[in-house]
């Protein structure tokens, strides 16, 4: 008698069988543990009587051996070679020759045994086919029942994986969108900054030009004022030759008088 403890049964089914089936169906390890835990708690919880479902047994009986299907044919007729002109051919049996009649009957007996062996083989194959058909039908019913139990678990697992993928995709899309928005914002700020600096440079250049024009456009003694209708900024910086005073003539006149 084995000293090993009996394996835990869940509704009459060994635990390892259920675990292998769930893992084979792709159920996550945590879900396998949860299913087994709930099943064990339900069948042996407080106030509940542990009910054991009998193990699955095929209703179709398929014997391991079939003595009636064993064949024992052994040929009984052997024909010696005849020699032309020497062997005596006759129908009846003599002390030295069995005759053709007995020979042909021996062949008939062998053929009868062969026919019986063929009938036996055919019947055994037919019976085995029927037994196999019954076993397959029972397996179909049992597997269908197991599928109906496992399908909700598979759907739950697929829903969980789908939600995780959707969550991961949403996180990635949000990250990409934030990166794109940040990049666009930085580009806009950079563009606004450059535009503002360009505007400031233009304003500064305009002010410098105005100051220069104001300074250069200051009228010298004897220079006629600018026309009233002359727009600001259009004043001439330098006077023309016609507007230049005759400084040279006065200078020459002064020099002659001094001499």
Q: Is the pLDDT of residue 1 over 50?
A: no
pLDDT, tens digit (0-9, with 9 covering 90-100), for 3-17: 445 667 776 777 778
pLDDT score for 224: 53
Angle at 25 between CA 22 and CA 30, to 5 degrees: 50
What is the pLDDT averaged over residues 221-247? 54
Residue 165, domain member (yes or no): no
CA 117 to chain centre: 57
- HSE (CB half, 13 Å, CA atoms) of 231? 2
* Lookup: tokens for 122: 């055919």
pLDDT, tens digit (0-9, with 9 covering 90-100), for 53-94: 567 777 888 888 888 888 888 898 888 888 888 888 888 988
What is the pLDDT averaged over residues 247-258? 54
Residues in contact with 33: Cβ distance below 8 Å, sequence separation at least 6, in sequence order:
none
Residue 192, domain member (yes or no): no
* Lookup: tokens for 211: 């100051």
What is the pLDDT averaged over residues 202-216? 67
Residues in contact with 160: Cβ distance below 8 Å, sequence separation at least 6, in sequence order:
28
Q: What is the DSSP letter of 242?
A: T
Q: Compute the distance between CA of residue 163 and CA of residue 146 in angstroms, rounded to an integer.
A: 26
Residue 33, domain member (yes or no): yes
Does residue 124 contact residue 69 with C-beta atoms inside 8 Å? yes
Domains contained in the chain, number: 1
Does residue 153 contact residue 22 with C-beta atoms inside 8 Å? yes
Angle at 146 between CA 10 and CA 56, to 5 degrees: 60
Give the residues across from 9 on adjacent strands: 14
pLDDT score for 107: 94
State the CB neighbour count (10 A cutoff) for residue 53: 11
pLDDT, tens digit (0-9, with 9 covering 90-100), for 106-161: 999 999 999 999 999 999 999 999 989 988 888 888 888 888 888 777 777 778 78
pLDDT, tens digit (0-9, with 9 covering 90-100), for 242-252: 666 565 555 55
pLDDT score for 247: 57
pLDDT score for 225: 52
Does residue 50 contact residue 11 with C-beta atoms inside 8 Å? no
For residues 123 and 178, the model is more confident at 123
Does residue 25 contact residue 150 with C-beta atoms inside 8 Å? yes
pLDDT score for 96: 82
Give percent of the chain above pLDDT 90: 10
In three-state secondary structure terms, 220 is coil
pLDDT score for 50: 46
Reported as a pLDDT band with limits 50, 70 and 90, residue 101 is very high
Q: Compute the distance between CA of residue 60 and CA of residue 131 in angstroms, rounded to an integer.
A: 6
Q: What's the domain range around 44?
A: 1-55
pLDDT score for 60: 81
The chain-wide mean pLDDT, for the chain, equals 75
In three-state secondary structure terms, 13 is strand
Name the range with the highest mean pLDDT among 120-124, 164-168, 232-236.
120-124
């Amino acid at each position: 008698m084995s000293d090993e403890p009996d394996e835990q049964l869940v509704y009459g089914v060994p635990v390892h069988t259920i675990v292998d089936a769930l893992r084979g169906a792709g159920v996550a390890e945590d879900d396998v543990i949860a299913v087994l835990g709930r099943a064990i708690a339900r069948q042996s919880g407080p106030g509940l009587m542990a009910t054991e479902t009998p193990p699955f047994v095929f209703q179709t009986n398929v014997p391991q051996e079939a003595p009636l299907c064993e064949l024992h044919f052994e040929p009984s007729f052997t024909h010696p070679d005849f020699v032309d002109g020497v062997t005596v051919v006759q129908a009846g049996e003599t002390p030295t020759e069995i005759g053709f009649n007995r020979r042909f009957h021996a062949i008939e007996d062998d053929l009868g045994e062969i026919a019986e062996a063929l009938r036996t083989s055919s019947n055994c194959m037919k019976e085995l086919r029927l037994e196999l058909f019954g076993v397959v039908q029972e397996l179909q019913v049992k597997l269908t029942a197991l599928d109906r139990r496992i399908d909700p678990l598979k759907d739950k697992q697929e829903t969980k994986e789908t939600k995780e993928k959707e969550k991961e995709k949403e996180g990635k899309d949000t990250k990409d969108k934030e990166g794109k928005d940040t990049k666009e914002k930085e580009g806009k700020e950079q563009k606004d900054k450059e535009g503002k600096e360009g505007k400031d440079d233009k304003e500064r250049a305009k002010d410098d030009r105005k100051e220069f024009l104001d300074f250069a456009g200051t009228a010298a003694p004897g220079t006629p004022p600018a026309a009233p209708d002359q727009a600001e900024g259009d004043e001439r910086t330098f006077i023309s030759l016609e507007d230049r005073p005759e400084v040279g003539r006065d200078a020459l006149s002064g020099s002659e008088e001094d001499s």
